[in-house]
């Protein structure tokens, strides 16, 4: 379901800081070369000579979880400001120069990171490095630009939250699942806070987080490692590091208890959403959880899609998502359905969960996920940008770039006992959160159809 | 070679790998074996041995353009029902077997054609081809599957009414193409309800045939063996007489219309503007693409983004795009802005178009556009899937692979005078259709200053 998936694409932006080692020597692991400049900038380089393309990504270890009260949304607004000019480049020149080189660039802000990315012809690598270094060292911040960009960001808020029913659902979900928590508002922030950011706020944010020792630079493509290291040293080497404060950590309640929330939506049919907290990307059970969720939710071959949509026809749309940060995660099952069907949706999801908790998965379910991962592992080699993103994810979210090579093996190693243990660890009724979204405008015929279906199904 | 003995006409493009000639003018695509089977199926084989993968693509020339009036949705329904079972396999078996080889089936629908795709690792190339051909050639048209897809499409109609961009786009299509043209029409509950399983079977029979399709396979295989395998699977697919399609004939003399779509509660106004553009077979094609690049097709390098977003702070997104086909083209501009800025944003867009006509583009803008276009080609050809997509799209635009290899040269031959002449000829503000989705009550005073407009409600069908 396009509309529901979109919700979780937005929610799914959870990343976190990796502990940087202080090693100063280049280290080779497989094909990725890891190198740390004296100022703390961590560089990861992977040569890929299939096409004359290079992907450059700067992962700053800062996101919306770093925002204090009153500044909710500043990480995202700051991402916009990074394109509005630095000492040697004018406003928007970053975009324009990359484009004139035949490349593309953009950025995104998540809960735990802010990532700037370029994809361009390999012989233009130095241009991307020069631009990234310039704004890391000498960003220009002034009132006029801030005022304009504030308006742009407020337009984005209107577009993504106020005028989009799915964005509005995401907002409600966060408020319910993460009250008074670092994940409560997400990267989009709060409109009333965005209206009040000052140049001083931005300057402080920049000085604190946009420093080489708070960033990981990833370069993948048709490049020569030793040349790249020299280029990076020349562009970034003189940028001063800053003192980085301890990053905020997700604090889970001492005891998670089940809770139910009811809310309204502009979608035409009700949505039922079941959520379960998990331990996140660095937990030992991550791979087992991935196998389990794949069998439940991955496509038309999955258990829940078949049961809810095809066989029992209880729901009109269904999606299941796993959203993970470094130290916390969330499993969400969401179904849009006719009125009066929410209890049946819930019961059927539980039926499958209970089954797995005692009997585990069928052998062919292991085969499917293993073959899917093997295929993905080969196909992603075509795309420098995908490889760069996966290396970034391995290093920054999971804590070690070497895990980039382990994805297939980790899945291969998952056993039936692992799946059963993980199902029992996470999927417990007394820890489940449920949110029901009822349409603001009720459709009479849909109500009748739903009522009848709930009786006879 | 094996395929010769079948007596097929073969056209070979003997070039090796995707490389640029030293002057950057010529892009050499990998060798393509381009063969037409006796049943009319065009087969294109491209060997690429970088990774052990094989990508199958089947393009069928059918889409919304072929839908009978009152049966809007039938093209999509037909494409979707193919996965709902074949004469020998249930939909569950198909889904499980595709997942079992670590693959998936993609269905990409365009107004005039649909592309089915399957990417597999080499180890499963035979299983993939077996499934892929079975799905395309032997659908069972299961009534259960039909009901489920139809029900989903009915829900999609309701969901589309909550998506402001879709509302604007559907109304914009209607204003430009008109209600008599299938491309101007939108799925409604009534039109989807009206489609029967027999209609779908007829639609399939009339459009899904080898002489209306192109099969492109790219990846790690030996072309002789692959051709034999494909012939085994697709050789018996029966050709048929292809149904007549409604011809789109752009009327460049027509003045633009303004349609306001009322949607209470909105805090933004959504704009979708369009007009006819040149077609891909026209000599102005490359000049027109450069004109669009400068207007709104290049993010922060474009005039619209600079004026409306970077300077004006009126929007998060604005852009223009060209959808250029062999028989017609459409230029569209889309954006959104807060209610208070509706009139300002509209005026700035108009002013930028007028400025483009009056003063034209500069040498610097032209050079930047050329630099981007020539530089971006490698980025468009990183994977076999991208190469396949680019080739199939070019064929649908009426180009050959030889034309495609001269793409950069085509752009490089464009002059400032060419672009400015094309802008004056095509990008006329008075021909611009304007659709605005907004809460009319909140912005009425601004709307009256835009000009005479027709008003509709977001729940109404755009083609009523």
pTM of the entire structure?
A: 0.92
The DSSP call for residue A246 is P
Are A148 and B310 in contact, with CB atoms under 8 Å apart? Answer: yes
Q: Helices A93-100 & B363-380, crossing angle to 10 degrees?
A: 70
Mean pLDDT calculated for residue range A241-270: 80
Q: Strand A42-47 relative to strand A32-36: parallel, antiparallel, unpaired? A: antiparallel
- Shortest Cα distance, chain B CAs vs residue A310, angstroms: 7
Query: Roughly how many angstroms between the first and final C-alpha of chain B, as a whole number?
Result: 57
The pLDDT of residue A31 is 87
Give chain A's mean pLDDT.
Answer: 89
Partner residue facing B102 (CB), from A50, A91, A375 = A375
Partner residue facing A95 (CB), from B100, B270, B299 = B299
Q: For residue B437, give the chain A residue with the closest CA.
A: A163
B105: left (phi over 0), alpha (psi -120 to 50) or beta: beta
Q: Which residues contact B244 (CB under 8 A, 6 or more apart)?
A: none
- Shortest Cα distance, chain A CAs vs residue B62, angstroms: 23
The pLDDT of residue A453 is 62
Query: Looking at domain A259-456, does it have CATH number 3.90.199.10?
Result: no
Is there a contact between B313 and A95 if contact means CB atoms under 8 Å apart? no
The pLDDT of residue A38 is 96
Rg of chain A over CA atoms, in angstroms? 23
In chain B, the domains with their CATH numbers are 2-234 (3.30.830.10), 258-457 (3.30.830.10)
- How far is residue B439's CA from residue B441's CA, in Å, rounded to a whole number? 6
Are B43 and B431 in contact, with CB atoms under 8 Å apart? Answer: no
Are A267 and B162 in contact, with CB atoms under 8 Å apart? Answer: yes
Q: Looking at domain A31-236, which of 3.40.50.720, 1.20.1260.10, 4.10.520.10, 3.30.830.10 is its CATH number? A: 3.30.830.10
pLDDT band at A456 (very low <50, low <70, confident <90, very high): low
- Shortest Cα distance, chain A CAs vs residue B233, angstroms: 24
Partner residue facing B148 (CB), from A299, A310, A367 = A310
Set of chain B residues whose Cβ sits within 8 Å of the Cβ of A188:
none
pLDDT band at A431 (very low <50, low <70, confident <90, very high): very high
Matching fold, domains A31-236 and A259-456: yes
Is there a contact between A378 and B155 if contact means CB atoms under 8 Å apart? no
The pLDDT of residue B24 is 58
Is there a contact between B99 and A372 if contact means CB atoms under 8 Å apart? yes
Is there a contact between A301 and B98 if contact means CB atoms under 8 Å apart? yes
State the 10-residue block means of pLDDT for chain B, 464 residues long: 31 40 72 97 96 97 97 98 96 96 96 97 97 98 96 95 97 97 97 98 97 98 97 97 92 96 97 98 96 95 96 97 96 98 97 96 96 90 95 97 93 97 95 98 96 96 87
Partner residue facing A378 (CB), from B53, B312, B372 = B53
Considering only the C-alpha atoms of chain B, give the largest distance between any 2 of them, rounded to a whole number of Å.
74
Nearest to B359 by CA among B437, B423, B272, B277: B423
The pLDDT of residue B255 is 95
Is there a contact between A381 and B51 if contact means CB atoms under 8 Å apart? yes
Is there a contact between A378 and B372 if contact means CB atoms under 8 Å apart? no
Domains of chain A, residue spans: 31-236, 259-456
Tokens 């409306």 correspond to what residue? B308
Is there a contact between B301 and A147 if contact means CB atoms under 8 Å apart? no
Set of chain B residues whose Cβ sits within 8 Å of the Cβ of A266:
162
Q: Which of B299, B342, B365 to mutate to test the interface with A (most CBs of A within 10 A)?
A: B299
Set of chain A residues whose Cβ sits within 8 Å of the Cβ of B372:
99-102
- Shortest Cα distance, chain B CAs vs residue A317, angstroms: 8
Query: Roughly how many angstroms between the first and final C-alpha of chain A, as a whole number?
Result: 22
Q: Which of B99, B101, B342, B408 to mutate to test the interface with A (most CBs of A within 10 A)?
A: B99
The pLDDT of residue A406 is 94
Query: Nearest 10 degrees: CA dihedral of A399, A401, A404, A406?
Result: -70
The pLDDT of residue A444 is 60
Q: Which of B155, B309, B371, B458 to mutate to test the interface with A (most CBs of A within 10 A)?
A: B155
- How far is residue A175's CA from residue A160's CA, in Å, rounded to a whole number? 16
Is there a contact between B336 and A159 if contact means CB atoms under 8 Å apart? yes
**What is the three-class DSSP state of B70?**
coil
Instruction: Note the pLDDT tens digit of each residue in B186-206.
Output: 999 999 999 999 999 999 999
- How far is residue A153's CA from residue A63's CA, in Å, rounded to a whole number? 16
The pLDDT of residue A142 is 93
- How far is residue A333's CA from residue A296's CA, in Å, rounded to a whole number? 10
The pLDDT of residue B21 is 52
Is there a contact between A95 and B300 if contact means CB atoms under 8 Å apart? yes
Q: Which residues contact A281 (CB under 8 A, 6 or more apart)?
A: A16, A324, A325, A326, A327, A329, A397, A398, A399
Is there a contact between A383 and B18 if contact means CB atoms under 8 Å apart? no
Set of chain B residues whose Cβ sits within 8 Å of the Cβ of A299:
95, 99, 104
Set of chain B residues whose Cβ sits within 8 Å of the Cβ of A383:
382-383
- Shortest Cα distance, chain B CAs vs residue A301, angstroms: 5
- How far is residue B410's CA from residue B72's CA, in Å, rounded to a whole number? 38
- Shortest Cα distance, chain A CAs vs residue B357, angstroms: 23
Query: Nearest 10 degrees: CA dihedral of A335, A336, A341, A346?
Result: 10
- Per-residue exposure over A315-350, b if at least 16 CB sit within 10 Å of its own CB, e if not: bbbbbbbbbbbbbbbbbbbbbbbbbbbbebbbebbe
Is there a contact between B267 and A158 if contact means CB atoms under 8 Å apart? yes
- Read off the tokens for A27: 């280290």
Contacts 24+ apart (CB under 8 A), B365-369: B365/B294, B366/B290, B366/B294, B366/B414, B366/B415, B366/B416, B366/B419, B368/A96, B368/A99, B368/A100, B368/B298, B368/B301, B369/B290, B369/B293, B369/B294, B369/B298, B369/B411
The DSSP call for residue B242 is P
The pLDDT of residue B5 is 31
Set of chain B residues whose Cβ sits within 8 Å of the Cβ of A152:
309, 313, 315-316
């Amino acid at each position: 379901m396009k509309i529901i998936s979109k919700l979780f694409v937005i929610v799914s932006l959870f990343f976190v800081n990796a502990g940087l080692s202080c090693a100063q020597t280049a280290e080779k692991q497989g094909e990725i070369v890891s190198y740390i400049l004296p100022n703390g900038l961590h560089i990861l380089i992977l040569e890929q000579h299939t096409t004359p393309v290079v992907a450059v990504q700067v992962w700053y270890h800062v996101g919306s979880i770093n925002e204090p009260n009153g500044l909710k949304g500043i990480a995202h607004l700051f991402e916009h400001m990074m394109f509005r000019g630095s000492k040697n480049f004018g406003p928007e020149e970053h975009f324009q120069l990359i484009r004139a080189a035949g490349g593309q660039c953009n950025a995104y802000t998540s809960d735990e990171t802010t990532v700037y990315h370029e994809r361009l012809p390999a012989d233009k690598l130095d241009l991307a490095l020069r631009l990234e270094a310039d704004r890391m060292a000498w960003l220009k911040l002034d009132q006029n630009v801030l005022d304009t960009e504030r308006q742009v960001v407020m337009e984005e808020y209107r577009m993504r939250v106020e005028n989009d029913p799915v964005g509005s659902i995401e907002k409600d979900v966060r408020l319910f699942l993460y009250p008074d928590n670092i994940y409560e508002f997400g990267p989009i922030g709060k409109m009333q806070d965005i209206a009040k950011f000052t140049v001083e706020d931005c300057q402080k944010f920049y000085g604190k987080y946009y420093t080489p020792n708070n960033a990981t630079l990833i370069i993948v493509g048709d490049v020569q490692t030793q040349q790249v290291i020299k280029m990076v040293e020349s562009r970034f080497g003189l940028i001063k590091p800053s003192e980085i404060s301890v990053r905020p950590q997700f604090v889970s309640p001492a005891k998670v208890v089940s809770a139910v929330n009811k809310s309204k939506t502009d979608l035409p049919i009700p949505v039922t959403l079941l959520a379960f907290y998990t331990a996140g990307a660095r937990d030992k059970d991550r791979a087992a959880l991935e196998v389990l969720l794949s069998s439940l939710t991955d496509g038309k071959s999955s258990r829940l899609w078949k049961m809810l949509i095809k066989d029992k026809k209880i729901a009109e749309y269904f999606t299941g998502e796993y959203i993970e940060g470094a130290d916390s995660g969330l499993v969400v099952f969401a179904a849009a359905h006719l009125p009066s069907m929410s209890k049946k949706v819930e019961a059927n999801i539980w039926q499958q969960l209970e089954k797995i908790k005692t009997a585990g998965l069928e052998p062919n379910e292991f085969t499917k996920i293993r073959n899917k991962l093997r295929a993905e592992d080969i196909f992603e080699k075509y795309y420098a940008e995908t490889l760069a993103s996966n290396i970034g994810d391995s290093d920054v979210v999971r804590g070690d770039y070497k895990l980039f090579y382990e994805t297939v093996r980790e899945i291969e190693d998952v056993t039936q006992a692992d799946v059963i243990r993980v199902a029992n660890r996470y999927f417990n009724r007394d820890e489940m959160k449920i949110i029901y979204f009822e349409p603001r405008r009720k459709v009479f015929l849909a109500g009748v159809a739903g009522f009848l279906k709930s009786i006879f199904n | 070679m094996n395929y010769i003995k079948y007596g097929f006409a073969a056209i070979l493009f003997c070039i090796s790998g995707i490389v640029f000639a030293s002057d950057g003018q010529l892009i050499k695509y990998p060798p393509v074996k381009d063969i037409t089977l006796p049943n009319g199926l065009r087969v294109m084989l491209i060997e690429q041995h970088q990774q052990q993968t094989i990508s199958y693509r089947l393009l069928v020339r059918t889409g919304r353009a072929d839908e009978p009036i009152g049966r809007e949705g039938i093209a999509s329904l037909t494409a979707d029902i193919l996965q709902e079972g074949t004469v020998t396999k249930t939909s569950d078996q198909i889904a499980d077997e595709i997942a079992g080889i670590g693959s998936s089936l993609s269905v990409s629908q365009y107004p005039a054609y649909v592309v089915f795709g399957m990417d597999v690792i080499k180890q499963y190339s035979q299983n993939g081809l077996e499934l892929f051909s079975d799905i395309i050639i032997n659908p069972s048209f299961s009534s259960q599957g039909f009901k489920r897809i139809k029900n989903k499409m009915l829900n999609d109609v309701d969901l589309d009414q909550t998506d402001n961009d879709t509302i604007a786009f559907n109304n914009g299509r209607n204003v430009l193409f008109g209600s008599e043209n299938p491309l101007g029409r939108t799925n409604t509950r009534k039109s989807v309800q009206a489609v029967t399983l027999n209609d779908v079977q007829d639609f399939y029979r009339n459009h899904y045939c080898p002489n209306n399709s192109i099969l492109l396979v790219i990846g790690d295989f030996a072309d002789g063996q692959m051709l034999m395998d494909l012939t085994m699977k697709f050789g018996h697919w029966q050709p048929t007489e292809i149904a007549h399609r409604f011809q789109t004939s752009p009327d460049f003399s027509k003045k633009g219309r303004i349609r306001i779509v009322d949607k209470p509660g909105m805090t933004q106004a959504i704009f979708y503007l369009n007009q006819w553009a040149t077609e891909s077979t026209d000599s102005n094609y490359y000049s027109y693409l450069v004109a669009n690049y400068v207007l709104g097709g290049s993010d922060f390098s474009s005039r619209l983004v600079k004026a409306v977003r970077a300077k004006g702070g009126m929007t998060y997104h604005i852009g223009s795009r060209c959808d250029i086909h062999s028989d017609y083209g459409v230029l569209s501009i889309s954006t959104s802005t807060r209610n208070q800025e509706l009139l300002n944003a509209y005026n700035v867009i108009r002013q930028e178009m007028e400025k483009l006509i009056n003063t034209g583009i500069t040498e610097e803008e032209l050079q930047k556009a050329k630099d981007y276009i020539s530089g971006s080609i490698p980025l468009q050809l990183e994977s076999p899937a991208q190469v396949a997509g680019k080739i199939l799209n070019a064929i649908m635009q009426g180009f050959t692979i030889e034309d495609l290899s001269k793409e950069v040269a085509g752009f490089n031959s464009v002059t400032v005078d060419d672009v400015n002449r094309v802008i004056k000829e095509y990008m006329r503000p008075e021909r611009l259709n304007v659709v605005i989705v907004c809460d009319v009550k909140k912005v009425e005073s601004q709307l009256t200053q835009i000009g005479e407009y027709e008003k509709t409600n977001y729940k109404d069908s755009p083609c009523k």
